[in-house]
Amino acid sequence: MTQTPAIEVDGLTKKFGHFTAVDDVSFDIHPGEIFGFLGPNGAGKSTTIRAILDLIRPTSGHCRVQGLDSRRDAVEIHRRIGFLPSDLALWPGLTGRQTVEYLGRLRGGVDRARVDELSERLDADLSRKVGEYSSGNRQKLGIVLAFMHSPEVVILDEPITGLDPLVQLEFHTLLREMADAGGTVFLSSHTISEVERVADRVAFIRRGHLIAVERMAELQDKALRRITLEFGDAVPARAFEGIEGVRDVTVDGPTVSAQYEGSMAPLLAVATEHDVLSVSSASVDLDQIFLEFYRDEVEAAGDDPDQPDDRREPDDGRAA
């Protein structure tokens, strides 16, 4: 029997007047999975999340959470999930504890021991008023609120903003514990290193278009690698032209640098025809892979993937 996806996005399109924020986006997220949703600011990440949560209505397409329709079953979906928005707004006159108790009562009650556990793990001080919080402490409270009722699915939009490295580490441990227990994490971020550390799969979105959905292990396996060779004497650049899997060769006297995909053997076969003194190789990190995905997809359209995407998603949460 096929397991129902925890989150389904099917042909999602959202337009604000003549502006298309999300264009025909489709993907599934499975129970027990941490799913990274990557893209520059203005790419369509928050618009997608708002449509999943029925905070805005799609122009076309459908979203489902645990088999429930995002529009028809929004109340039941909100009961089951935890959510941390990128622009968390809370009551400044309430303490963190009062905020937890108030929202907990709206849910019909939460386990105080769970709240205390989360607060201790995140070093969150719930005794102070929210208006006195730094951005990092406000974010800690937001994480407590998202996880305090032990939801089956959490949707997190830029969750590590303002968190110090030790709290980030504990937060990522919390995500992995949830996934290992069968829960589902939808992690939207423009911070590539965050997604690389914890995600099982990752989706790339740019200018409202879904560019790719990849398993993290497979993405890393097929990643480009960087190699630097030192020779006894200067070598001609033409010696390294046309080698299978090799690109972006630069020659600076006796030093040759290049990127390669797959086996290193064809490159080494050419290199050993000369006096090789040393060889060093390293994997290209995810931000470079991310850039390569963008480059492959958008160069034909005339976009420059090395330039920042200055689009901005509309802040208006009203249905259009």
CB proximity list for 229: less than 8 A, separation 6 or greater = 255, 256, 257, 271, 276, 278, 279
Residue 307 has pLDDT above 90, yes or no: no
Residue 133 has pLDDT above 60, yes or no: yes
Distance CA 42, CA 59 (A): 18
Residue 8 has pLDDT above 90, yes or no: yes
Write down the pLDDT at residue 221: 60
Residue 205 has pLDDT above 80, yes or no: yes
214 band by pLDDT with thresholds 50, 70 and 90: confident
Over range 31-38, report the average pLDDT. Answer: 95
Phi-psi region of 203 (alpha: psi -120 to 50; beta: other; left: phi over 0): beta
Tell me the per-residue pLDDT of 240-286, one tens digit each, with 9 for 90 and over: 888 888 888 889 999 998 888 777 788 888 889 999 999 887 655 55
Of 191 and 83, more confident: 83
CB proximity list for 126: less than 8 A, separation 6 or greater = 95, 96, 97, 100, 115, 119, 141, 144
Q: Which residues does residue 34 pair with via DSSP β-bridges, in sequence order?
A: 185
Domains in the chain with CATH codes? 7-220 (3.40.50.300), 224-283 (3.30.70.260)
Write down the pLDDT at residue 212: 86
Closest C-alpha among 295, 307, 225, 218 to residue 261: 225
Distance CA 21, CA 209 (A): 9
Could you write out the DSSP letters of every residue in 268-284?
Answer: HHHHTTS-EEEEEEEE-
Over range 288-303, report the average pLDDT. Answer: 55
Share of the chain above pLDDT 70, in %: 86
Computed over every residue of the chain, the mean pLDDT equals 87
Write down the pLDDT at residue 300: 44
Over range 179-195, report the average pLDDT. Answer: 90
pTM tops 0.85: no
17 band by pLDDT with thresholds 50, 70 and 90: very high
Of 104 and 238, more confident: 104
SS3 at position 228: strand
Of 294 and 39, more confident: 39
CB proximity list for 191: less than 8 A, separation 6 or greater = 158, 160
Question: In the 3-class helix/strand/coil scheme, how is 173-222 assigned residue by residue?
Answer: HHHHHHHHCCCEEEEEECCHHHHHHHCCEEEEEECCEEEEEEEHHHHHHC
Write down the pLDDT at residue 302: 46
- Cα distances from 31 to residues 3, 128, 164, 186, 257, in angstroms, run 8, 36, 29, 11, 43
Of 219 and 62, more confident: 62
Write down the pLDDT at residue 306: 46
Distance CA 279, CA 231 (A): 9
Residue 92 has pLDDT above 70, yes or no: yes
Edge-first strand order for the sheet with 34-38 is: 81-84, 153-157, 184-189, 34-38, 201-206, 209-215
Tokens 């209505």 -> residue: 57
